[in-house]
Amino acid sequence: MLNRRHATLGLLATLGLRPAFAQSSFPGGRPIRIIVPFAAGGSSDVMARGLGKQLSDQMGVPFVIENRPGAGGGVAMEQVARAPADGHTLLYGTIGTNAVAPVLFKNLPVDPAKDLAPVSLAALNPSVLVVHSSLPVNSLRDLIAYAKANPGKLNYASAGNGSISHLATELLKSSAGIDMVHVPYKGGGAASADLLAGNVSLMIETITNAMTLVKTGKVRAIANSGSKRSPSAPDLPTFAEAGLPSFVVDSWTGIFTASGTPTPVIERLSSEIAKASREPAYRQSMSNIGVEAASSSPSEFANFVRAEQAKWGKVVQATGTRIE
């Protein structure tokens, strides 16, 4: 009987399969790594650490955060894609790395659609359109009317070519039928500084950073890009409420792992993230930084990512922005 059992396990290994008891014992007491495609201290890093702590409390194993910036997320994606397909190495992916980068960069080291398996949505982080206080507009309709009366005279800042702040504003331009000049910066900090100085007229920035800018009194918040109002700025209307019903840009983050990871492992991770998203203390910690904790099934997340890639692929194509 022992020899027969060993033979069965050997056959499973030869076929690239894992016995059911190995899957059901995940994570087996082993630490789980979350690879973040950005440097420590940024918003994605903060969100990943918050989720990792919550999952560690739930699952009883350490969740170790590793920062691997570079190549538009390509460095982190490659590390996860090349890791053993056992659910112990996860990617904290974003709208930028997993929806925009595949259509923006011509030579990513991996194909996210083939090499990474979607696990679950993790958080929604809407952006806000902010304008310098010298601009004579107080609403989205005011801004659109002003831009149409002054084509090409408004400058908008972004964190760089191909960034969400760039592509979201290009989507705004096409949705509203207005013409504005793009001024790319090397990061959101430099863009925000020039907006505060009045060197550019407006920008679309994450809600956390945008509301910090608003507190200076030098800029005004016009509209929230998300699908619903944010608890961080409950009086700020969405773009849909303000007159552009088709404009929705929810910056998002989510968990991916290596393709080929057993389905029961992916489903376990997804269910734990869903449990975390319902935990009041964790939800509040995300809300404190302007983020909404979220979750989804693996299939829902896969469909969502495909739709996001198609959406931003059209914007990238329209702007002619491709990076070697």
In angstroms, the CA 258 to CA 104 distance is: 22
Asked if residue 78 lies in contact with residue 110, where contact means CB atoms within 8 angstroms, the answer is: yes
Q: Cα angle at 57 between 36 and 290, to 5 degrees?
A: 55
Interval 16-47: pLDDT, tens: 444 443 446 899 999 999 999 998 988 899 99
Q: What is the arithmetic mean of pLDDT over 64-81?
A: 94
Q: Give CA–CA dist 21/17, Å, rounded.
A: 12
Q: Does 94 score more than 60 pLDDT?
A: yes
Predicted local confidence at residue 26, as pLDDT: 95
Phi, psi of 203 (to 5 degrees): -165, 160
Helix (H) or strand (E) holding 223: strand 219-224
Residues 102-128: pLDDT tens digits?
999 888 889 999 999 999 999 998 899
Element of type H or E holding 242 = helix 239-242
pTM confidence score: 0.86
Per-residue confidence (pLDDT) for residue 166, from 0 to 100: 94
Report how far residue 177's alpha carbon sits from residue 59's, in angstroms, rounded to the nearest whole number: 50
- Predicted pLDDT of residue 19: 40
Distance CA 165, CA 204 (A): 5
pLDDT tens, position by position, 274-318: 999 999 999 999 998 889 999 999 999 999 999 999 999 999 988
CATH code assigned to 32-125+250-319 = 3.40.190.150
Averaged over 218-239, what is the pLDDT?
Answer: 93
- The boundaries of every CATH 3.40.190.10 domain in the chain are 126-242
**Domain 126-242: which topology?**
D-Maltodextrin-Binding Protein; domain 2 (3.40.190)
In total, the chain counts a number of residues equal to 324
**pLDDT at position 209 over 90:** no
User: Range(s) for CATH 3.40.190.150 in the chain?
Assistant: 32-125+250-319
